[in-house]
Chain A
Amino acid sequence: MIEIISILIQFFIFLIICSFPLRPKNLNNIFGNKVNSLNYMDCHALNIIIFLNILLMCSFFNINLKVIFFLLLTISTISIIYRREEIFILINKKNMLKFLFFFILCISIFISTAQILKLEWDGFHWILKALVFYNGNDIQDIRYVKSLPEYPHLGGYIWAFFWKNSILQLEYYGRFFYIYFYIVSIFTIFNLLNFKSDKILFLLIFITILITYDPYLFAGYQEYLIFSTLLIAARFIGLIDFNKKDEKNKIFLSIIIMSLLIWFKNEGLIYFLIFGSLLVILNQTTLNFKIYYFTTIFLIILIQYLLKKHVIGIFGSQHDLYMSEFIYLFYNFDLMILKLVTITKHLIIAMIKYPLWLITILLLFLIKIKTINDNLITRYFLYALILNLAIIYLIYLNIDQSSYKFFLRVTLDRLIFQTSGFYLYIFIYFLNKIKFKKINFLK
């Protein structure tokens, strides 16, 4: 019984900690517009982004996890008490139903994780980083972790943070935050929907969870962190009017959200670079601001490099890109064709496993490429998708012939999964184009 009660308490801890500092009123003044105002869930998603950035900073100072936790919890609680009247206004039938739905989804997945408990293969690599922080060791000790020390540490830090600060101090409590982040991100992206029927919204959210929920990836893997961050980024990119020059705040916000990707996994760096750069290139902002955004992107990457190299003391990746492999392929055309066919085959298999990609590609054909090209924001997501696939081909072409098939089998599905949420925007864009008004059920 104590486990069930502490699971419920854990949910409310997430809810309280992530309710600070932003609220809809001040967020709408900065980012909202008449068509798409920002609600409590958007604030919650952005508060998570702020919270993760705070944790990232704290991770370099070796501060006691309990101190950070109690400080954040106290500040958030005081903030909620201070804003109690604003919160009481929010408590109405419509919001309560939405909250109940959110609560049921979170608790159901929490309980499922608590019952299965098991960490899968890569979970035992990532837990080693979490243990460094859980045991209160210095961040430099990551260097001595037995497997993949060069991988980013933020996921492990979050894991350790909530593991240490849970009532029972059991390992799986640390992974609950991944679930919470995932559910919040799905609720957030559906704020882009134009129609306001709760029933259809709930069904769409549930269908998205049916398609994207994979308990295996909650067993210690970091893919959901990238998936959820990209979903939140897509929600705020969806607010940007690409034809306007005065969208500086929203572009900057989207870049800041995506910057977290580089701290979850090594490939996050590539996603940040291509999705961030594309956002700047396709925008109609002035040249000066484009230079400013590019400088920001490269500064963020440079800071990460310097921190990893000089503070933690380790930088690199499991697979560096080798030009020699490309040159070798260039002179062995048959091998290149064979590799391309094999990668395509595994790509299709991975897309069957995580069908959000298939839905996205199907919708792209339905919406018609021409319509997409007329609209800058859908063009952004189309180009992002093409570049994403191109990067996948490049990565696997670069792996030598003896092992690329093995890596295709064990890693490609996860690589495909983690960016699939980003293209949910295309799905929502498609839904917004459909006229639902005649269906009584939706009223």
Chain B
Amino acid sequence: MIKSFTSIFVKIFGKNSYIVIFFVIFFLIIFKFFNTTYNTYSILIWNYEQRMTQSYGYCKNESWGFYNYVIKKFNLENKSIKIINHEGHVLINALFQNIKVVDADAEYLMVLNLQSENDENIYDLKIDNINNYEIKYKFNNCYLLELND
């Protein structure tokens, strides 16, 4: 079997057989180094939003999934929002172009990855005017709060 395969290979490529083998191995090494086959599989299996959630986390790290969910669910486009990532990760609001991020007097407050001890809740933390807001949606340690009328 192997012998016949080798003879067919040599018949096709002739003297260039070893060059072909060299380049095939070389290109396979490139694919392995960049993880190309797995990455292609991943892109085919998971859509853009799913991969964004995998990369940034749903309610961890930058929490793209939480942003995406609450913006769609509560129709936050063009609403003023103050965002706090309590774990210190960078704010990724630039990836959502239709939300208006402000530092004060926000209609909504988004607190991500809340860090708390023992029985502490979100209202025990030193966040400006936190008592003026009520929880609209909570997922694990990520909160969306709305300003009381």
| A residues whose Cβ falls under 8 Å from a Cβ of B | 1, 3-4, 97, 100-101, 104-105, 107-109, 111-112, 114-119, 121, 124, 127-128, 131, 135, 168, 170-171, 199, 202-203, 206, 210
Contacts and interface: CB of A to CB of B under 8 A. Distances in A.
Contacts of B147: none
A210 B56 CA distance: 26
B123 interface: no
B40 A124 contact: no
Contacts of B27: 100-101, 104
Contact of A202 (B26, B38, B42, B94): B26
Nearest to B41: A115
B30 A115 contact: no
Interface in B39-72: 39-40, 42-44, 48, 51-52, 55-56
B96 to A, nearest CB: 11
Interface string B1-43: 0000000000000000000001100110111011110111011
B92 interface: yes
Contacts of A105: 30
A115 B40 CA distance: 8
A109 B94 contact: no
Nearest to A131: B94
A392 to B, nearest CB: 26
A119 B96 CA distance: 13
Contact of B36 (A3, A111, A119, A210): A111
Interface of B: 22-23, 26-27, 29-31, 33-36, 38-40, 42-44, 48, 51-52, 55-56, 90-92, 94-95, 97
User: What is the interface of chain B mostly: helix, strand, loop, or mixed?
Assistant: helix
Contacts of B39: 111-112, 114-115
Nearest to A105: B30
Contact of B51 (A109, A117, A124, A168): A117
Given A1-B44, A124-B91, A171-B95, A117 B55 contact: yes
B44 A128 contact: no
A119 B27 CA distance: 28
Contact of A111 (B43, B52, B56): B43
B51 A111 contact: no
Nearest to A210: B33
Contacts of B91: 124
A104 B28 CA distance: 10
Contacts of A203: 26
B2 to A, nearest CB: 25
B48 A124 contact: no
Contacts of B52: 117
A376 B26 CA distance: 37
